[in-house]
Amino acid sequence: MNTVAAYGNTPFVDEIRAYVIRPYESEMGKMNWTQIGNLEDIPRQGSRVVNTAKGEIALFRSVDDQVFALDNRCPHKGGPLSQGIVHGKRVTCPLHSWVISLESGEAVAPDVGCAHRHEVRVAHGVLFLEVKA
């Protein structure tokens, strides 16, 4: 198990190569929480990606420091949501500007579609993501 603190604000790209982390059973209940990094690793109004066996998951941090996780695939044509502009509790897809609710993963009307959401927790500034088996 790697320590997450190791990749706080490291300046060089090469050192930021992502860590391979194995899921573990946490004390936070029966859920399969995986420690993935620190709140500070995601810029405010920004996003980072976690690569999983089942595809990319985008983590978003709103201006008031709430964290959300969605599949990094826009329900429209698969655009990478992590690259969009985050505003309020929403993100605008970079490809054709669908607006997706970070809370529900649903596209904001009139568009219809859903980006699957994932459970994420922040405890003492450390991020935990629930990865379903």
Q: How far is the CB of 29 from another protein (least distance, A)?
A: 19
CB of 75 to ligand FES, least distance (A): 7
Is 46 a binding residue for another protein by CB under 8 A? The answer is: yes
Question: How far is the CA of 61 from the CAs of 43, 65, 73, in angstroms?
Answer: 7, 6, 17
Asked if residue 45 binds another protein (CB under 8 A), the reply is yes
3-state per-residue secondary structure call for 53-103: CCEEEEEEECCCCCEEEEECCCCCCCCCHHHCEEECCEEECCCCCCEEECC
Indicate which of ligand FES, another protein, none lies near residue 12 (CB less than 5 to 8 Å, by partner kind).
another protein
**How far, in Å, CA of 51 to CA of 110, rounded?**
30
Q: In terms of residues, how long is the chain?
A: 133
Q: Is 26 in the site for another protein (CB under 8 A)?
A: no
Does the footprint of another protein cover residue 133 (CB under 8 A)?
no
> Is 122:129 a contact under the CB 8 Å cutoff?
no
User: Smallest distance from the beta carbon of 123 to another protein, in angstroms?
Assistant: 16
Q: How far is 61 from 77, CA to CA, in rounded Å? A: 23
CB of 95 to another protein, least distance (A): 7
Q: Kindly state whether residue 132 participates in binding another protein, applying the rule CB under 8 A.
A: no
Q: Which residues bind another protein (CB under 8 A)?
A: 10-13, 16-23, 34, 36-37, 41-46, 48-53, 56, 59, 63-64, 77-80, 83-88, 90, 92, 94-97, 99, 110, 129, 131
